[in-house]
Amino acid sequence: SSLHAEHLDPRTASGMQFLAFAVIVACAQALQLPVCSSATSAIAASRTPVPTMKHKDYFTRIARAEGGRLRLSVSRSNNHIYGQIIDDTKDAVVVAASTMEKEVREEIPNGGNSAAATAVGKRLAAKALAKGIEQVYFDRNGKRYHGRIAALADGAREGGLAF
């Protein structure tokens, strides 16, 4: 009804254009493959309804820092273990202890075992309590809570830190 008679007449240039367009659209619709309903349901089921954060550990750390707790960060190598209490609001290390310290090396010859980690935890707690720090949260630094990491945490708890 809205089409003019000249558009439908194949003898005119605009009629030929319209006819060619209609043929192209019909061919494009005919070439589309049917979509399998089970495939679409499998794709829809695999998608998570809520987007997940790519770096959730970073956001958790920032939220806890804004809450006022300092972070007890632990890192280890094959021969040594290190603990730091960090104030993330100031990006500063407040207290640190490790098996690399001279006093700890004199007490414990091997710094790569659980006994050394417990000693470092107790030493870290003593230094923290001297500076008035009583509550921290434990940052495993991506390592499992097992072995030397757990021993350092237990030593810090024995020394008086709460986390």
Greatest CA span in the chain, whole angstroms? 103
3-56 tens-digit pLDDT? 555 555 556 667 778 778 888 887 777 777 555 555 555 555 555 566 666 777
What's the pLDDT at 58? 77
Span 1-17, pLDDT tens digits: 455 555 555 566 677 78
CA pair distance 89, 36, nearest whole angstrom: 53
- Percentage above 90 pLDDT, the chain: 44
pLDDT reported for residue 48: 56
**How would DSSP label each residue in 81-150?**
EEEEEEETTTTEEEEEEETTSHHHHHH-S--SSHHHHHHHHHHHHHHHHHTT--BEEEE-TT--S-THHH
Which position has the higher pLDDT, 122 or 109?
A: 122
